[in-house]
A and B are shown apart, each in its own frame.
Chain A
Amino acid sequence: MTLDRRAILGGAAALPILGAMPFRSARAQANNTVKIGVLTDMSGTYRDGCGPGSVTCVRQAVQDSGVTGRGINVEVLQGDHQNKPDLASTIARQWIDRDGVNVIIDVATSSCALAVHGVVKEKNSIMLNSTGATADLTGSACNPNTIHWTYDTWMLANSTGGAMVKAGGDTWFFITADYAFGHALERDTTGLINKQGGRVLGSVKHPFPGTTDFSSFLLQAQQSRAKVVGLANAGVDTINCVKQAAEFGLTRRQKLAVLLMIASDVHSLGLQTAQGLSLSETYYWDLNDRTRRLANKVKGDMGGAMPTMWQAGCYSAALHYLKAVADMGVEKAKASGAETVVRMKAMPTEDDAFGAGSIRQDGRKLHPSYLFEVKTPAESKGPWDYYKLVRTVPVEEAFRPMAEGGCSLVRT
């Protein structure tokens, strides 16, 4: 055989694939080792809110849990699903089947979250979802292997949407990301608007990912003459929408409802453009002593960035999982994902990110949510000093009542 350039190139291209092949069997691992896989967006539109920071937060949780002192080894793996559901479920399958991963944490992007949600049920593993938003995870699609940790579309609709309607914004137009998350957020917010006597005048769905110019959609929103323009998208899409809405003077006659915006988005947008926006989160680093303590622990490894609620959720979820593992014993915890989840639901949660909380039968983790207003440049004392607390939504009101979700796990 002659070796030509093509063959060499082909060989070089195959090298990374070889590198990723399993050369050790899952059975070879020690029995006192649990494996946590952080499956997230490492390179796309949501990277800054979760991505490498989520991995840092999970590692911090491992350290804070103190399980290593009790003879339990914890291995943290990371994977980039590139916001593609097919890739997400492939990685999840490989992790569970080949690498013996016991729990998958984070799983940004609702479409990927729903894909992995199915895989963990089939394999009797566990998903602790922090960044995925769709409330279907604990509603019509709920299963005994998933806990939805940080927030969801219903909570966003209820907190930000509710506040807008109460303030007189009773006619809406939506600019929606055309995938599971955007659809769920629009649906939940529409439900709330209708319930409070408002009206939705129209909506437009933009392709995800890959839309950079939103001016056409913003113009349609302007022409609708709705009082509120609801942005049912996230990450760079929302950043671009807010930026271009300011450019087109949309905010002079209409109000912008950023239904999902997190601290790293505000950081990227700059206070000049973001000031005055109302948004809802369940964690903000500067909320109290405990949230500040968590932020100070991880920011060094995150290049000085403060953790977002998505990343803080990964911390909280990993910590609670490890508590359950320590409580049940490694072997038992690894034997059945569903049983470990039952144990996690039975134990109260307690951590620096969300304080005291609990997990509901349908897999919904409960804690308060907060309505914030973005500070003006004059009010902000420096980088990451971005929010004023407007209202705390108590635990009982923050999330969708269990009976309304339609989850089959709920015994009435």
Chain B
Amino acid sequence: MLEDFLSQLEMAAPQIVLGLVNGAFYALLSLGLAVIFGMLNVINFAHGAQFMMGAFVAWMLLNWAGIPYWGALILSPLIVGVFGVVLERLMISRLYKMDHLYGLLLTFGLALIIEGVFRNSFGSSGLPYAPPAALTGAPVDLGFMMLPKYRLWVVVAAFFVCIATWLVIEKTRLGAYLRAATENAPLVQAFGVNVPRMVTLTYAAGVALAALAGVLAAPIYSVNPAMGSNFIITVFAVVVIGGMGSILGSVITGFALGLVEGLTRVIYPEASATVIFVIMAIVLLARPAGLFGRA
């Protein structure tokens, strides 16, 4: 009996670690979504496309400008973030006074256009992007499995970015302004804070987080136009389960659902694409505001 359990555990332990790696991506992406929704009340359906752009910009930086991975890690989110500023100023800002659905439709349309443009220019099967030399080589021996160095780096990096974002929003003066502006924008503006600019920069920051996740994903997954849309549906489920707009909720749920998905891949792999949505349905029935959301 105990032996059975131990051998099961031996099978499951590596999957738990891999689940954490995927959870890191879910957490990073849902973090950006939560920031944008929490502060702007916009459901950013273009998030997957912006994740994909992050990966593509990293590829372009390497192949067209010779800038390696570490440079891309900073430059790509900045470039895609600027794209976010343009998008917010030109289009999204016009929809703040209207129902959520309009923002959703607009960003969904934008996502389709961006994906289509990349598909026409680069094809659908993707482009190669090698991990940086420092993170290749022999996988790290964890005792029960061999984990590639790069995946370990992804978990660590994602974890710290999540903590940093949470700290900025919950513990700094800037974060306090942001939260205040969400509650009552005219009042905050009356105190002399430039609220529209702050909102624009918040959107850009959310977009940059997506792009950062894209750069992190580029060496693991094929850099292809559909890479974002494969992720985004799952990530929306993560945000819904965690509670729309709850930053801590989206991070914890992201990692947790990565784990659940990883375990499903061992127990019943055919259901691994569905399990998150089953959980979402149950959570919505039991707690419509999500696990960490405020009703």
Tell me whether B68 is interfacial, beta carbon within 8 Å. no
Tell me whether A270 is interfacial, beta carbon within 8 Å. yes
Contact across chains for B221 and A240 when beta carbons are under 8 A apart: yes
Tell me whether B148 is interfacial, beta carbon within 8 Å. yes
Residues of B within 8 A of A178 (CB): 270
Among B116, B130, B274, point to the contact of A272 (Cβ < 8 A).
Answer: B130
Q: Give the residues from 114 to 160 in chain B that come closer than 8 angstroms, CB to CB, to chain A.
A: 116, 119, 123-128, 130-131, 138-139, 145-146, 148, 150-151
Contact across chains for B138 and A249 when beta carbons are under 8 A apart: yes
Among B14, B102, B150, B224, point to the contact of A219 (Cβ < 8 A).
Answer: B14
When each residue 265-293 of chain B gets 1 if its CB lies under 8 Å from chain A and 0 otherwise, what string results?
A: 11001101110000000000000000000
Tell me whether A244 is interfacial, beta carbon within 8 Å. yes
Residues of A within 8 A of B126 (CB): 236, 239, 268
Give the residue name and chain of the A residue nearest to B19 (CB).
Answer: A216
Among A44, A207, A269, point to the contact of B226 (Cβ < 8 A).
Answer: A44
Tell me whether A73 is interfacial, beta carbon within 8 Å. no
Tell me whether B50 is interfacial, beta carbon within 8 Å. no
Q: Return B153 CB to nearest CB of chain A, in Å.
A: 12
Tell me whether B41 is interfacial, beta carbon within 8 Å. no
* Complex CA–CA separation, A212 to B102 (angstroms): 30
Give the residue name and chain of the B residue nearest to A9 (CB).
Answer: B105
* Complex CA–CA separation, A285 to B133 (angstroms): 34
Q: Quick one: which of A46, A51, A212, A220 has the most chain B CB within 10 A? A: A212
Q: Return A274 CB to nearest CB of chain B, in Å.
A: 9
Contact across chains for B226 and A215 when beta carbons are under 8 A apart: no
Tell me whether A328 is interfacial, beta carbon within 8 Å. no
* Complex CA–CA separation, A220 to B21 (angstroms): 17
Q: A213-B221, A268-B127 known; A248 and B146 CB under 8 Å?
A: yes
* Complex CA–CA separation, A215 to B146 (angstroms): 11
Residues of B within 8 A of A243 (CB): 128, 220-222
* Complex CA–CA separation, A45 to B119 (angstroms): 11
Residues of B within 8 A of A272 (CB): 128, 130
* Complex CA–CA separation, A205 to B273 (angstroms): 12
Contact across chains for B125 and A220 when beta carbons are under 8 A apart: no
Q: A219-B15, A239-B126 known; A212 and B230 CB under 8 Å?
A: yes
Contact across chains for A207 and B222 when beta carbons are under 8 A apart: no
* Complex CA–CA separation, A209 to B146 (angstroms): 28
Give the residue name and chain of the A residue nearest to B22 (CB).
Answer: A213
When each residue 204-243 of chain B gets 1 if its CB lies under 8 Å from chain A and 0 otherwise, what string results?
A: 0000000000000000111010110011000000000000
Contact across chains for A215 and B124 when beta carbons are under 8 A apart: no
Q: Return B16 CB to nearest CB of chain A, in Å.
A: 10
Give the residue name and chain of the B residue nearest to A219 (CB).
Answer: B14
Contact across chains for A207 and B125 when beta carbons are under 8 A apart: no
* Complex CA–CA separation, A204 to B22 (angstroms): 19
Contact across chains for A47 and B123 when beta carbons are under 8 A apart: yes
Give the residue name and chain of the B residue nearest to A248 (CB).
Answer: B148
Tell me whether B34 is interfacial, beta carbon within 8 Å. no
Give the residue name and chain of the B residue nearest to A240 (CB).
Answer: B222
Q: Quick one: which of A217, A219, A265 has the most chain B CB within 10 A? A: A219
Q: Give the residues from 15 to 53 in chain B that come closer than 8 angstroms, CB to CB, to chain A.
A: 15, 18-19, 21-22
Binding site for A on B (CB under 8 A): 11, 14-15, 18-19, 21-22, 102, 105, 116, 119, 123-128, 130-131, 138-139, 145-146, 148, 150-151, 220-222, 224, 226-227, 230-231, 262, 265-266, 269-270, 272-274
30 A-B contact pairs sorted by A residue (CB < 8 Å) = A9-B105, A47-B124, A48-B123, A48-B124, A48-B125, A205-B269, A205-B270, A207-B272, A209-B230, A210-B230, A211-B272, A212-B227, A215-B21, A216-B18, A216-B19, A216-B269, A217-B269, A219-B14, A220-B265, A235-B125, A236-B222, A236-B224, A240-B222, A247-B220, A249-B148, A264-B125, A265-B125, A269-B128, A270-B128, A273-B128
Given A205-B269, A247-B131, 19 more A-B residue pairs with CB atoms under 8 Å apart are A5-B102, A43-B124, A44-B124, A45-B125, A204-B265, A206-B272, A210-B273, A211-B273, A213-B18, A213-B220, A217-B265, A219-B145, A236-B124, A236-B222, A236-B226, A247-B148, A247-B151, A268-B123, A272-B130
